[in-house]
Structure 1
Amino acid sequence: MAKRILDNKDPKLEAMAVDHEVPAPKEITVEESRLTRVARPLRHVRHIPVKSLVFHSKDGPITFSYEYKIKLPINKNKLAVQVNYAGLNPIDMKIKNGYTKPIYGEAGIGREYSGTITHVGDNLTNGWNIGDEVYGIYYHPKLAVGALQSSLLIDPRVDPILMRPKHTLSPEKAAGSLFCLGTAFNLLAKLEERGHLDTESNVLINGGTSSVGMFVIQLLKRYYKVSKNLLVVTSGNGSTVLSEAFPDIKDEIIFINYLSCRGKSSKPLRNMLHSGKLVDYDDFNTLKETEDYTQGKVDIVLDFVGGYDILSHSGSLIHSKGAYVTTVGDYVGNYKKDVFDSWDNPSANARKMFGSMLWSYDYVHFHFDPNIKLIPKKNDWIHECGELLNEGVVDCIVDKVYSWKNLKEAFSYMATQRAQGKIIVKVEGF
């Protein structure tokens, strides 16, 4: 084959061949190919990861959960809020007490919060912006969700939410304000609407250092301008706490120490009415008479502790056409046993049904549901409460602040029922 090719070569082409002096190029070496790992391209995140504090039964521990996620983009009518602080309330313990067995799945904790908006639905861009500091109520006790989680999906049509005034309301206080202030504000508004409350009302408050009680004291004196001294039942150093918290009001309060009269706070009240003197009990339970008492029977009893003592003597303590309002009921509140949305005892149910026929005063067991859809349109309590906080008419008294890793300690402290103000939980970033 080679000889045939050489025999057929063209002499003309052979004559055109030229020898070059430049050497041939060097061979290019090729490295052996190897597979290496490289970073994957960035992908669009389709959800907001959420870290939540949950429980499964009343006797089980409170633990962290990562099951819930907020889908992106969020609903056009909702807001996503990164939670910074959350307030604890007795209702949290009552809800937990109702989970008798771990068969209902996980349930969240917390009903109010403060935080920062991270996502805004398309229909809400005119009123809200990313980065806005907000606070509000997240009240869904029957849906097993709570505010103690790193992010919340808020529906402003249902969930009360306000812009936080940065210079007048700290995020800690904001997280503990709206639920108890809303309770106090709506309770007193109902009494005023029914003709029980005016500037001359004589008011007795059982549980003055409860969070609702503290807001009630401020509203009665600074908002409703009640002129008479408030009769306030406290325990231990409650009178000192209230005097230091409200120095402008302390001289307009008659303090009754629940402990010094062995839980029978009706006793000094009846003695005052009988003797016309302000009375007190020393450490030895000895009656001491001091100044004159001229206010007579009370027009309104506001009970935030519970119990039957004052109620059993209500006929001799409350004016005809007066009112007795309780947020607890006949039994003294017990955070370790009370269950959310449980029935009252038979006597309390009878008073609610037939009280106006059996007694000369109104009896009301007041429950506050902040769901906006359940509130009459004429009642703009949310923004009115926001203005009261912004203007300094009322203040949220914070007792303790805990990290959410120390929630067990926070719940243990709340269970003692000795908190004098709000218990706040700091939510760490996630």
Structure 2
Amino acid sequence: MSANTTTRLHAVSLAKDKSVPRTIYSEDANKLQRVARPLRNVKHIPIKAQVFYSKDGPTEFSYEKKIRTPIPKDKIVVQVKHVGLNPVDLKIRNGYANAVYGQVGLGREYSGVVTHVGSDVQFAWHEGDEVFGIYYHPHLGNGALQSSILVDPKVDPILLRPDTISEIDASASLYCLGTAFNILDRLQRDKFLKSDSNILVNGGTSSVGMFAIQLLKRHYKVSKKIVIVTSSNGPDILKKNFSDFANEMIFINYLTCRGKASKPLRKMLDEEKIEDYTNPNEETFLEYDQGKFDIVLDFVGGYDILSYSSTLIHGKGCYVTTVGDYVSNYNTDIFNSWDNPSANARKLFGSVIWKYTYISYNFDPTVKSAAKNDWINKCGQFLEDGTVKCVVDQVYDWKDTVKAFDYMRTQRAQGKIVLNVEIF
């Protein structure tokens, strides 16, 4: 062994307390290693919802939707307690012929309690607020029939529930009341609706019809008797619920004329009297001297009254329909479907050819639509002060949703249908 080698080994042995760095090879220097990161806990609000996939498919519960927290600064979360059903729910469902769109929600109006509030809207809303409103997103597949909903107050109409109305009544009021008020408000602004207007309501026990009748008598103070086309027990329901103007309504029973209400209406105008079919024990007649109608409100549809419009409606009158020329059919009607050619012709040329104005009305239940007349707050005030009240026909648990919709399809409901929503 050489002297140089001996000297180097002796030096290493004396400095053995100093660690020798590990040689770094080039292949180790360029190699990246994955390091484990701690898991992030993404909080969310679980949701139980009722959905469908196609019009012919079943209605079922879904647990897939969630609301992430913290929620957006400009939104609130409402725990839903009750949901009011509307014909538009069936019309939307009828438009989904197949399941390619995935889950689709049900229900457009609700009542409930606020559980979460975004930081930007805490000046207006608070946890624990009892609220009711409209949740209208037909093209997004979202519905109110779920345990919680994420509400944008700038888009979705929402109000504090006053103590004067129940949770059930609140859940079934705003959509149909908003429809009725916006129709009548437009008629008043266009100078059709006046205190002495002569008015015919076709479909008096429909929810929109009942709200319209109450507004006409209690808010617009219409002095003349309102002529109402309804079923055989319709007068009992209307007189019972609206006893303050029970004698200010004249009834036409569409069942006795096989749905051709124009026949007894024309006879009433010719003879200036109408049989009082609300008195089955004896044949009595009511005098009628109000003449032709200034306004016809049609919540049933069909061409029967229109076919005799020149006989029934004043030349400068107005005919408003929420349905169209076809009698409504909840089994086949589709949301936002096209009107038939005759209806389109009346929209364009009705005031020239038929001498009256024809309006096919479609309600826009959004906050944006309230910019002109503040209909959301006005309707809330109508409910709070008792100007109108909601007439509820049936209340179901949400496990019986199929039964509720089956009953609605019969088109025999005389008032609103409400679903109770369980806490999830």
- 2:72 is aligned with 1:111: no
Distance in 1, matches of 2:221 and 2:278, equals 32
Match of 1:340 in 2: 335
Report SS of the residue matched to 1:191. helix
- 2:290 is aligned with 1:266: no
- 2:231 is aligned with 1:251: no
Match of 1:413 in 2: 407
* Mapped contact 1:47–1:72 kept (Cα < 8 A): yes
TM-superposition CA deviations, 1:363-409 (whole Å, max 9, x none): 00000011112x25231110111011000110000001000000011
| CA-CA distance at 1:353 after TM superposition | 1.9
Match of 2:230 in 1: 234
Match of 2:285 in 1: 290
One-letter amino acid of the structure 2 residue matched with residue 355 of structure 1: G
Match of 1:193 in 2: 189
Match of 2:417 in 1: 423
Distance in 2, matches of 1:411 and 1:376, equals 30
Match of 1:131 in 2: 128
Distance in 2, matches of 1:101 and 1:400, equals 30
Distance change in 2, residues 1:177/1:283 (3 Å)? closer
One-letter amino acid of the structure 1 residue matched with residue 353 of structure 2: L
- 2:345 is aligned with 1:350: yes
* Mapped contact 1:260–1:282 kept (Cα < 8 A): no
> 1:152-163 counterparts in 2 under 5 A?
152-163=149-160
Report SS of the residue matched to 1:190. helix
- 2:314 is aligned with 1:323: no
- Corresponding residue to 2:74 among 72, 77, 91: 77
Q: Please report the RMSD computed on the Cα atoms of aligned residues, expressed in angstroms.
A: 1.8
| CA-CA distance at 1:278 after TM superposition | 2.1
| CA-CA distance at 1:67 after TM superposition | 1.2
One-letter amino acid of the structure 2 residue matched with residue 106 of structure 1: Q
Distance in 2, matches of 1:417 and 1:355, equals 30
**TM-score for both structures, normalised by structure 2:** 0.88
Report SS of the residue matched to 1:249. helix
Match of 2:386 in 1: 392
Match of 1:313 in 2: 308
| CA-CA distance at 1:45 after TM superposition | 6.2
| CA-CA distance at 1:282 after TM superposition | 9.7
> 1:342-381 counterparts in 2 under 5 A?
342-373=337-368, 375=369, 377-381=371-375
| CA-CA distance at 1:356 after TM superposition | 2.0
| CA-CA distance at 1:289 after TM superposition | 6.7
Match of 1:66 in 2: 63
| CA-CA distance at 1:283 after TM superposition | 12
One-letter amino acid of the structure 1 residue matched with residue 243 of structure 2: P
Distance in 1, matches of 2:88 and 2:421, equals 19
One-letter amino acid of the structure 2 residue matched with residue 109 of structure 1: L
| CA-CA distance at 1:291 after TM superposition | 2.9
* Mapped contact 1:277–1:289 kept (Cα < 8 A): no
Gaps of 5+ in 1: 1-42
Report SS of the residue matched to 1:300. strand
- 2:90 is aligned with 1:102: no
> 1:158-177 counterparts in 2 under 5 A?
158-165=155-162, 167-177=163-173
| CA-CA distance at 1:179 after TM superposition | 0.2
| CA-CA distance at 1:280 after TM superposition | 5.1
Distance in 2, matches of 1:104 and 1:330, equals 30
Distance change in 2, residues 1:282/1:212 (3 Å)? closer
* Mapped contact 2:370–2:376 kept (Cα < 8 A): no
Matched-pair identity in %: 61
| CA-CA distance at 1:84 after TM superposition | 0.2
TM-superposition CA deviations, 1:255-276 (whole Å, max 9, x none): 1101011111111111111111
**Is the deviation greater in 44-53 or in 194-203?**
44-53
Distance in 2, matches of 1:261 and 1:280, equals 14
Distance in 2, matches of 1:310 and 1:95, equals 27
Report SS of the residue matched to 2:124. coil
> 1:30-41 counterparts in 2 under 5 A?
none
Distance in 2, matches of 1:312 and 1:213, equals 22
Distance in 1, matches of 2:61 and 2:423, equals 13
Match of 1:140 in 2: 137
Q: Which structure 1 residue ranges, 4+ long, deviate > 3 Å from structure 2?
A: 279-284
Aligned residues: 385
Match of 1:183 in 2: 179
Distance in 2, matches of 1:88 and 1:162, equals 18
Distance in 2, matches of 1:292 and 1:391, equals 34
- Corresponding residue to 1:225 among 202, 221, 227: 221
One-letter amino acid of the structure 2 residue matched with residue 163 of structure 1: L
Distance in 1, matches of 2:277 and 2:43, equals 65
Report SS of the residue matched to 1:328. coil
* Mapped contact 2:42–2:68 kept (Cα < 8 A): no
Match of 1:401 in 2: 395
| CA-CA distance at 1:300 after TM superposition | 0.2
Answer with 1 or 2: which has the greater Rg.
1
Distance in 2, matches of 1:150 and 1:282, equals 44
**TM-score for both structures, normalised by structure 1:** 0.87
* Mapped contact 1:117–1:129 kept (Cα < 8 A): yes
Distance in 1, matches of 2:326 and 2:420, equals 32
Distance change in 2, residues 1:283/1:391 (3 Å)? closer
**Is the deviation greater in 304-313 or in 273-282?**
273-282
Distance in 1, matches of 2:373 and 2:224, equals 27
Distance in 2, matches of 1:413 and 1:309, equals 26
